[in-house]
Amino acid sequence: MAPEHRLARTVRALALVAFAALAAAPAAHALRLVDYNLTNYPSVLLAQRQPNFRTVVGPLGADVIGSQELQSQAGVDSFLTNVLNVLEPGLWLAAPFVNGNDTDNALFYKPSKVQFLGGWAWYPPEPPGVPANLRLVNCYRLKPVGYSDASTELRIYSQHLKASTGSANVNRRFYEATGIRDTMNAMPPGTHAILLGDFNIYASSEPAFQKFFENQADNDGRLYDPLNAVGTFNSAGFAPIHTQCPCLTCPAGSGFSGGGLDDRFDMFLPTYNMNDGQGLELLVATYKPVGNDGLHYNLNINDPPTIPEGAAYANALWNASDHLPIRVDIQLPAKLAVPASLPFGSVIVGATATQNLSVSNPATVPADVLDYSLDADVGFTAPGGPLTLAAGAPPASHPIAMATGTTGAKSGSLRVSSDAPDNPTAVVALSGTVLDHAAASLDSAAVQVAGTLDFGDHEIGQFVDQAVRAHNFGYDALQAQLSVNAANIVGGAGRFSIVGGFSPAMLAGTGQTWNIHFDDVAADLDQEYTATLTFTSTDEALPGATAATDLVVSLRAKPLAGATGVPGRDLPKALAFYPPRPNPLTREAVFAFDLPAAAPVSLAIYDLSGRRVASLVSGSQEPDRYQVRWNAVSDGGSRVSAGLYFARFTTPGMSRVTRLIVLP
């Protein structure tokens, strides 16, 4: 046996196994194409055949049906109304029908599955001097619903070549095939197309058959045989792929050709780009002459053994048409779905910043595998490729990283390049903010992590609460907030405490004040009490957060046995702070305070955000009566803007804050 014959036998054997399995339970499909020669429809035995057509077509799960031997527009309307829309009401439409000179074509489709883009019909040109009376050919342009790119168009060419043997009929088929091939060569390059119908070809060697497969200068219309059947089709070796005739002895008055299943007349012949592994593909494993189990060569389809579809189905095939329907599934192109943006949010410098990019292929199964790659702008990184994702699979997740070595607002793009025709390059916007660490401080104008809070030396009952304030020094939009988490006082015989207990605080541009109390009840007189107050804090809870430097405040208080003073001087007897005057001020305000004993004093001006604007008094002062002038000038030497300010006076035993308005 020649090698090519062995190959053909192997292909046929495998096809038989596949067809038997598929007949039992058609697989899920994205787009199912059926071709069915209806045989002289509707003029012959219409009332008898229509229920059988419904039985045959119902289980096919078709989305597009090409058919031949439609005799009129009335026949198209009848099949649409009394067969298809009885089975699936309102789901089917028919393409415009062109009434030709013989055995005309029709196309039925579900608009939920395909868009009908238009079509045309033509007669292949007759050779000069050869009156061949060639048959009408139709082209239907379709596009799967949900796709828009031109490359997703599918053209269905439907024909019914001249029947019967003899050189005249063989030549007519050749002329018709030549006209079809020439027309298909004129398609835009890359167009996907399938030629279907009743070919009436008896052997793979026929000139008409070879014309479709011929290697020409223009091969846009070159076709291939998915079943790779080589030889004379009317033989037992091709039994699994025969489509005519399902009756050996046929229904009375039908006009069917009879003879039993013995010819491969009905075929799908696709263009080569439907077998390249990409996009629209004809799935050979789903190619099926419906009802043919390979065991009814030269027999009635309803003769024993019963076909897998059942006896009722076999009887319907026997009654309905001179042909078996053929079906095949079409793989759809891949789709690409990614989010429009991938925000990283805020992180702290030096952190590991990643976000997962979700990539999905939402094409209806079976569909092409999505092939894609990722490319990120500088400042961001993405996994290398190539990458793949099957249709229907769970979305793929890919870590995308943002560089965090420097602070600032980061932005860029991630390009997802793919073989999805409708979305070959998707751009994902990337954004994030890298913040500097927070800076804990006891002072708003400079970093100060240690300080003293002196309650002074007083008789029992004369101590007043003192205030301590924490800041996030230098805070701006590119700095993390400071989370003050805890405060702990050690020492002082337990006499120092935070008024009302400690409450955590999150500091941005405004500081936080905690009042500290010294309990002098039953305290030892003339004994100095000291303690240490420690604030612990961290960056706000963001990636890269770390602990901030502790703020440590030394606390001191001394209860006295009696009054103290400086003899020989007219010193104030009591500690006092007087409101500024004038208030509001235009040029200058005067602050006055009385200090009965030497003590550290602080007098400073703050703006609404809590930032220190000007320091008027700072440090230890002798007992006296004081007046301090402020001319609305900041420590930097420039006049402050008009608005509301706060003057804060602190000294052991007293802490006062008063409002001050500066006019333009």
pLDDT at 16: 40
Return the minimum-mean-pLDDT range out of 31-35, 380-384, 561-565, 576-580: 561-565
Question: E strand or H helix at 6, and its extent?
Answer: helix 3-24
Span 624-645, average pLDDT: 91
DSSP 271: B
CA 603 to each of CA 302, 475, 656: distance values in angstroms, whole numbers, following the listed order: 109, 23, 10
**Average pLDDT for the chain:** 92
Residue 533 has pLDDT above 80, yes or no: yes
Question: E strand or H helix at 359, and its extent?
Answer: strand 353-359
Q: Which residues contact 278 (CB under 8 A, 6 or more apart)?
A: 333, 368, 419
At residue 234, what are phi and psi to the nearest 5 degrees? -80, 75
What is the per-residue pLDDT across 568-585, written as a single tens digit (0 to 9) for each?
A: 457 888 899 998 999 999
Span 601-630, average pLDDT: 91
Q: Which two tokens stand for residue 577?
A: 């702070």
Residue 12 has pLDDT above 90, yes or no: no
pLDDT at 444: 85
Q: Which two tokens stand for residue 115?
A: 């868009």
pTM of the complete model: 0.77
**Secondary structure of residue 244 in the 3-state scheme:** strand
pLDDT at 6: 35
pLDDT at 25: 38
Residue 230 has pLDDT above 70, yes or no: yes
> Regarding predicted confidence, which is higher, 28 or 383?
383
Span 22-44, average pLDDT: 77
Span 511-519, average pLDDT: 93
Cα distance between residue 609 and residue 612, in whole Å:
9
Return the minimum-mean-pLDDT range out of 282-291, 566-575, 614-623: 566-575
Please give the torsion angle defined by the CA atoms of residues 535, 541, 542 and 547, in that order, rounded to the nearest 10 degrees. 30
What is the per-residue pLDDT across 406-438, written as a single tens digit (0 to 9) for each?
A: 999 999 999 999 999 999 999 999 999 999 999
Whether 65 and 108 have beta carbons less than 8 Å apart is answered as: yes
Q: Which two tokens stand for residue 419?
A: 């073989």
**Secondary structure of residue 102 in the 3-state scheme:** coil
pLDDT band at 636 (very low <50, low <70, confident <90, very high): confident
pLDDT at 102: 73
Residue 522 has pLDDT above 80, yes or no: yes
What is the per-residue pLDDT across 447-471, written as a single tens digit (0 to 9) for each?
A: 999 999 999 889 898 888 888 999 9
pLDDT at 562: 61
pLDDT band at 39 (very low <50, low <70, confident <90, very high): very high
Question: E strand or H helix at 180, and its extent?
Answer: helix 167-185
CA-wise closest residue to 558 among 581, 531, 540, 592: 531
What is the per-residue pLDDT across 186-204, written as a single tens digit (0 to 9) for each?
A: 999 999 999 999 999 999 9
Span 37-52, average pLDDT: 95
pLDDT band at 664 (very low <50, low <70, confident <90, very high): confident
pLDDT at 507: 97
For the chain, domains (ranges, CATH) are 3-331 (3.60.10.10), 341-435 (2.60.40.10), 438-564 (2.60.40.10), 570-664 (2.60.40.1930)
Residue with tokens 């309990």: 519
What is the per-residue pLDDT across 291-331, written as a single tens digit (0 to 9) for each?
A: 999 999 999 999 999 999 999 999 999 999 999 999 999 99
Phi-psi region of 166 (alpha: psi -120 to 50; beta: other; left: phi over 0): left
Residue 112 has pLDDT above 70, yes or no: yes
- Residue 118 CB-density burial (10 A; 0-12 exposed, 13-18 middle, 19+ buried): exposed
- Residue 611 CB-density burial (10 A; 0-12 exposed, 13-18 middle, 19+ buried): middle
At residue 393, what are phi and psi to the nearest 5 degrees? -75, 155
Give the length of the chain. 664
Span 391-418, average pLDDT: 97
pLDDT at 317: 98
pLDDT at 491: 97
Residue 279 has pLDDT above 90, yes or no: yes
Q: What share of the chain is helix, strand, coil (3-state, %, to 5)?
A: 15, 40, 45
pLDDT at 555: 96
Count of CA atoms in the C-beta half-sphere (13 A) of 333: 24
Cα distance between residue 177 and residue 169, in whole Å:
12
Residue with tokens 């939402």: 362
Span 343-352, average pLDDT: 98
Residue 7 has pLDDT above 80, yes or no: no
Rounded to the nearest 10 degrees, what angle do helices 46-57 and 311-320 cross at? 130
Residue with tokens 């429809």: 41
Q: Which residues contact 28 (CB under 8 A, 6 or more apart)?
A: 365, 366
Residue 531 has pLDDT above 60, yes or no: yes
What is the per-residue pLDDT across 63-73, written as a single tens digit (0 to 9) for each?
A: 999 999 999 99
CA 146 to each of CA 65, 143, 154, 252, 338: distance values in angstroms, whole numbers, following the listed order: 20, 9, 14, 47, 16
At residue 390, what are phi and psi to the nearest 5 degrees? -70, 150
Span 461-486, average pLDDT: 94
Whether 20 and 41 have beta carbons less than 8 Å apart is answered as: no
Whether 459 and 566 have beta carbons less than 8 Å apart is answered as: no
Cα distance between residue 295 and residue 307, in whole Å:
8
pLDDT at 567: 41
Residue with tokens 């500690």: 575
pLDDT band at 129 (very low <50, low <70, confident <90, very high): confident
**C-alpha gyration radius of the chain:** 46
